[in-house]
Amino acid sequence: MAKRQVWHYLVPVFALIWIGFASVLIFGDVPFLAISIALTALAAMSTVVIALAWAFQNDI
């Protein structure tokens, strides 16, 4: 059986971080625009990290 790739572990970790950060922002009465920008930036950075991990694991 093949070893599980690291990006499979990163997806749920980043999802939990995103949900936790969203909860903090929402319950902290942060304006909607700031929440949108912060969560979009976090999602973009997470996607880049996951893509780089996938590329590294697949020797691309």
Three-state SS at 15? helix
The span from the CA of 3 to the CA of 30, in Å, is 42
How far lies 16's CA from each of 13, 42, 59, in Å? 5, 12, 28
pLDDT of residue 7: 85
Domain boundaries in the chain? Answer: 6-57
Q: Which of 35, 55, 60 is nearest to 10 (CA)?
A: 55
pLDDT 10s digits, 6-59? 888 999 999 999 999 999 999 998 999 999 999 999 999 999 999 999 999 888
pLDDT of residue 45: 95
pLDDT(1) > 70? no
CB atoms within 10 A of CB 50: 17
